[in-house]
Copies of this chain bind each other. A is one copy, B any other.
């Protein structure tokens, strides 16, 4: 027969910390603390299984529950030496919900349960404090009526306010025992009016009412929504913990407080916390009274004049300090604890792993590992990879005041202030003069790259987390707020406006790419410092991980950043980003406007030395590390001029008339450019482009090899392959040019030719594509777009609704959709390896810097992930955690 109730208290417990699933977090840790001999008020926990049973059986309890609860309650009475419902020596209890995972959507706590018109007098006598007793009783009625009986909050507030008005006082503390008795009478009348029956006086009825309310709250709308959003199964259920009350508000020898066993902001090993004398827990949280520091050191550090617990209650403090060490040694992690001192005696009410900032998390993990409390693998596991992002970018000074204009998506982390400009050219011009600028655009395009580079930050009003602006900004390490749809940009007037506020070009704005906030004026920022703990943990992570981590880097600046952040090569160099530079774009446009291969070749000949120079510099910086270069990918119309003036320049350069150029430009227009004439398709219709690029790569490799003596192995990557034949045609062409260059330069060239897997068809045909491809790199951005039929530029219009309605668990452009995209990847890996067991496998989509996706890449056996330079540390840590995890591939058909 199932056991439904677990007791704890008096240095014993039937539960343990590991029984979190059965007893909830709170119940399990109370049991654990009790077993440790810590002073925990006795109590018992009704299991989550009971909750499941309750819902499986038409909201009824098993027969044996009544007896089990009675036994457990009896034990509590014995341990406390008081009796539940006894008029002279009443036992009071708290009733709390507690699920496996913290669930703010559920029932709150009910305190002081067991009070009624009779026991309140017993409490008054026993405590010698009638005001305390009646205050406790009115709190109980208010809490119980609200939480259990569903009477609305404001009724009670009104009653108190009325009483204060009548008696002419303004503060609750001015109310006396008699006042509370009056209030209690009003409360009872109020409950009767609202519910049609009296407030329950029978403590047993109160107890079962509260227990039922907790189980009932598991299925309230807030809890259901919360579970859906956080992917918590309904059958986990909640537990109920019933515990003897202790009071921190029975006099000046009483207190209540919260503490962290280490400093949660810095991670420094110091006792850190606050307390209030003669108060209940809710008073600390409510912030009406200024809390006092626990320690003298804390008091001193904050220049506080209020006495520290260490000086006021030295004995109890010493005991608490001992508890601190006991708990940390036992849980092997920094703890967040709650305690109450009742008449000079310490009681522990809660312990759990404490939340902390990213720097604190690093310091604590490294310190604990160095102290031998945990091993290095455990230290690695304890750091949330994404939290590292906080360490790598400037952040807003949290103390600085700010005026928020609007909010967009936190598209690229960090914070930046600058003069607002509306065009890439102006951004560049002003930046050259030394101004800090924020580039504001409705949306960005590849034409804006130079302006994005020049700007401190980018703000767009359209587009999602993976819009052009967001992707490029993350790649460059620029902060970016994207899709701030509430802001209207007026290019003509050179203003932005939101809810009546208008900001003009040239004025200063601040954007916070970690929160999405857009602020008027300058808000001071704090520069990042990569502490020694960061370096230490990264070193440990690097030793553990089996996957390589490369960076997506297009420019020398990117490449240098990549190495600084520990990238082991370049996994994606997007050559098109090199096409937009001032003197190049003209040649690119000439090439596009040519109507035959000859004309294209002439224009491309001008680009060759520039591309070669780009690659030489990248090869030098990467010093022999692998460099994967993707040949031209975007549709040609991305390079077209937007203005007539620019069009006339081309007319001059090419000798074509404007009508022809306009006709040609119109012909390049596409309904769905994402699915259009791009990637390898460009090279099928105009092979000259890839010929030039291949030659530039080979010549650069030959030159740098000669220069440095180190053998370079460029990895040439062909985008948007759908069929093996495409790859064959282009690989043959590349090999031919490789042979030509080798002959011309008199060197031996070693290189790989591979393909992106970014179309469902390529994933399905991986077996035959691997016959020709020497490596696969998953382009998961496009694979997600095609698998889902979802344009990342347009998804902003509805993806939010999908997330809110729980139709998807997460944005598939941020974290790989395992069930769909993931299956295609798994298929591609299996089929590719079947053909070519040593096939090199990587990922170069945005997902390469997302921890959950890195985990998945590890599971399916990729050799490396590649992500933007600023994500490299995140990927290194995530890869290490993946290597440590024992999870098998969970994707199923």
Residue positions of A touching B, CB distance < 8 A: 462, 485, 488, 663, 667, 670-677, 681, 684-685, 720, 722-723, 725-726, 729, 758-761, 764-765, 767, 782, 785-791, 793-795, 797-798, 801-802, 805-808, 817, 819-821, 823-824, 831, 893
- Output the least CB separation between A587 and chain B (Å): 22
Closest to A485 in B: B667
- Output the least CB separation between A379 and chain B (Å): 38
- Asked if residues B787 and A729 are in contact (CB atoms below 8 Å), the reply is no
Which residue from B485, B676, B794 sits with its C-beta under 8 Å from A670? Answer: B794
Q: Tell me the bound Cα distance from A512 to B782 in angstroms.
A: 39
Q: Tell me the bound Cα distance from A291 to B672 in angstroms.
A: 56
* A-B residue pairs, 9 tightest by C-beta: A675-B791, A761-B820, A672-B791, A671-B793, A676-B794, A760-B760, A759-B789, A672-B674, A670-B794
Which residue from B663, B794, B798, B831 sits with its C-beta under 8 Å from A684? Answer: B798
Q: Tell me the bound Cα distance from A676 to B795 in angstroms.
A: 6
Closest to A725 in B: B807
- Asked if residues B831 and A672 are in contact (CB atoms below 8 Å), the reply is no
- Asked if residues A685 and B817 are in contact (CB atoms below 8 Å), the reply is no
- Please, which residues of chain B bring their CB within 8 A of the CB of A786? 675, 760, 786-787, 789
- Asked if residues A807 and B675 are in contact (CB atoms below 8 Å), the reply is no
- Asked if residues B788 and A761 are in contact (CB atoms below 8 Å), the reply is yes
- Asked if residues A824 and B760 are in contact (CB atoms below 8 Å), the reply is yes
- Asked if residues A677 and B797 are in contact (CB atoms below 8 Å), the reply is yes
* Given A787-B786, A789-B722, A798-B685, A820:B760 Cβ within 8 A: yes
- Please, which residues of chain B bring their CB within 8 A of the CB of A677? 794, 797-798
- Please, which residues of chain B bring their CB within 8 A of the CB of A787? 759-761, 764, 786
Q: Tell me the bound Cα distance from A314 to B823 in angstroms.
A: 75
Closest to A635 in B: B794
22 CB < 8 A contacts A-B: A462-B667, A670-B791, A671-B673, A671-B793, A672-B672, A672-B673, A672-B794, A673-B791, A674-B791, A675-B791, A676-B794, A677-B797, A684-B802, A685-B801, A725-B807, A759-B789, A760-B760, A760-B820, A761-B789, A765-B820, A767-B893, A782-B789
Q: Tell me the bound Cα distance from A676 to B802 in angstroms.
A: 14
Closest to A672 in B: B791
- Output the least CB separation between A705 and chain B (Å): 34
* Given A670-B794, A767-B893, A675:B785 Cβ within 8 A: yes
| Chain copies in the assembled complex | 2
Which residue from B675, B685, B759, B764 sits with its C-beta under 8 Å from A819? Answer: B764
Q: Tell me the bound Cα distance from A758 to B760 in angstroms.
A: 13
- Asked if residues B725 and A806 are in contact (CB atoms below 8 Å), the reply is yes
- Please, which residues of chain B bring their CB within 8 A of the CB of A671? 673-674, 791, 793-794
Q: Tell me the bound Cα distance from A201 to B681 in angstroms.
A: 54
Q: Tell me the bound Cα distance from A787 to B788 in angstroms.
A: 10
- Please, which residues of chain B bring their CB within 8 A of the CB of A684? 798, 801-802, 805, 807
Q: Tell me the bound Cα distance from A675 to B795 in angstroms.
A: 8
Q: Tell me the bound Cα distance from A760 to B720 in angstroms.
A: 16
- Asked if residues A820 and B764 are in contact (CB atoms below 8 Å), the reply is yes
Q: Tell me the bound Cα distance from A675 to B813 in angstroms.
A: 14
Which residue from B485, B663, B802, B824 sits with its C-beta under 8 Å from A764? Answer: B824
* Given A675-B672, A801-B684, A722:B823 Cβ within 8 A: no
- Asked if residues B488 and A817 are in contact (CB atoms below 8 Å), the reply is no
